[in-house]
């Protein structure tokens, strides 16, 4: 799995080096809208036609009622607006800096909500004996885990949706704002601004996929460990997961042991650098739909493996 992810990351670097015509910017957007529509239909069927859907709806409501959800949403909006007007002194690349900072903020806020919710809705329920009461009803442990995971992702999606809409609008506005500040109003039109804005749409989707992987890992950890350990572990995996491709591709003479350990770590941990579109933003290229498709497949496979691990860890967990 990891070798495929590294190959995907390598092919992405090649794709990012080529300039893509502005009209083709709509190809990934159309793919995203179509995929989102299919996903929402499937989610609605799951939520209202299965026992695990009952758990998912309860987890979603619990996440939305938490003060941390409102706090993260407000913090995200403030950060996005502040980044729009704060000068980056990047010699004309302020729009690119806004894209990088905005995507990073959306990713981190989504991760915080996912890890926090998994800890409070799984670890705390196990410790508080609430899970035992819930599982005494006609709901098995696998349905409990799947419901919790889908509920967490639904909450993350509701957090990212308003942030994504505001972010795309701010990027569009930033193009005109920078042009006005540098007296280049005649060089900018709505087509250029819109192309810059929708370029971040694939990045938001890839951020959600990255959160989906780490959420599955967090759910597995929450079945056995408390919140503090869960947060620390997920943070470590997030950092190392972005570094493993560089570690594997770096060969230093005399440090074969280090390279061997890096390959082992890269085999076990997810290649999160696959979901980074920094190269696309730097070169002004567009993430192709096929890359989004393979990234989705990779995220789905790794998340499934993590949820299966959660089944194993939770199956013999003593709830009494």
Judge whether 225 and 233 are in contact, CB under 8 Å: yes
Distances in Å between the Cα of 312 and the Cα atoms of 13, 79, 220, 232 are 37, 40, 9, 22
Q: How confident is the model at residue 105 (pLDDT cuts 50, 70, 90)?
A: very high
With cut-offs at 50, 70 and 90, classify the pLDDT of residue 208. very high
Tens-place pLDDT, residues 158-178: 999 999 999 988 888 887 777
Residue 50, SS3 per DSSP: coil
pLDDT-wise least confident of 31-40, 100-109, 236-245, 266-275? 31-40
Q: How far apart are CA 231 and CA 214, in angstroms?
A: 11
What is the rounded average pLDDT of the residues 110-135?
81
Percent of the chain topping pLDDT 70: 78
Q: What is the largest CA-CA distance in the chain?
A: 70
Q: Is 158 exposed, middle or buried (0-12, 13-18, 19+ CB in 10 A)?
A: middle
Instruction: Kindly indicate the confidence band of residue 6, based on its pLDDT and cuts at 50, 70 and 90.
Output: very low
What per-residue confidence (pLDDT) applies to 26? 60
Interval 70-82: pLDDT, tens: 999 999 999 999 8
Instruction: Tell which residue, 228, 299, 308, has the closest CA to residue 39.
Output: 299
Query: Nearest 5 degrees, angle CA 287-CA 13-CA 27?
Result: 15
- Report, as an integer, the average pLDDT of 187-193: 69
pTM of the model: 0.84
Q: Compute the mean pLDDT over every residue in the chain, rounded to the nearest whole number.
A: 79
The packing angle between helices 94-118 and 201-222, to 10°, is 20
């Amino acid at each position: 799995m990891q070798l495929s992810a590294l190959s995907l990351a390598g092919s992405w670097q090649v794709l990012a080096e080529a300039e893509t015509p502005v009209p083709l910017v709509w190809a990934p957007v159309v793919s995203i809208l179509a995929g989102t529509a299919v996903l929402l239909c499937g989610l609605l069927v799951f939520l209202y036609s299965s026992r695990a859907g009952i758990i998912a709806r309860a987890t979603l409501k619990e996440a939305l009622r938490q003060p941390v959800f409102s706090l993260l949403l407000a913090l995200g909006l403030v950060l996005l607006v502040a980044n729009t007007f704060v000068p980056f002194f990047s010699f004309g690349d302020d729009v690119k800096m806004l894209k990088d900072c905005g995507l990073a903020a959306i990713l981190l806020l989504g991760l915080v909500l996912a890890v926090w919710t998994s800890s409070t809705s799984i670890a705390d329920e196990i410790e508080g004996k609430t899970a035992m009461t819930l599982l005494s009803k006609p709901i098995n442990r696998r349905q409990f885990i799947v419901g919790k995971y889908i509920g967490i992702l639904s909450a993350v999606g509701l957090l990212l949706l308003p942030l994504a809409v505001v972010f795309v609008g701010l990027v569009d506005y930033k193009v005109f704002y920078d042009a006005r500040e540098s007296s280049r109003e005649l060089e900018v039109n709505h087509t250029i601004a819109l192309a810059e804005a929708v370029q971040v749409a694939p990045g938001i989707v890839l951020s959600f996929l990255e959160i989906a992987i780490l959420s599955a890992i967090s759910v597995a950890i929450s079945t056995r460990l408390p919140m503090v350990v869960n947060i620390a572990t997920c943070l470590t995996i997030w950092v190392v997961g972005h570094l493993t491709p560089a570690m594997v591709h770096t060969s230093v003479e005399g440090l074969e042991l280090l390279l061997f350990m890096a390959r082992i770590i890269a085999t076990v941990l997810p290649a999160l650098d696959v979901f980074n579109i920094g190269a696309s933003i730097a070169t002004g290229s567009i993430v192709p739909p096929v890359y989004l498709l393979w990234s989705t497949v990779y995220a789905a496979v790794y998340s499934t493996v993590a949820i299966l691990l959660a089944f194993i860890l939770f199956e013999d967990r003593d709830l009494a």
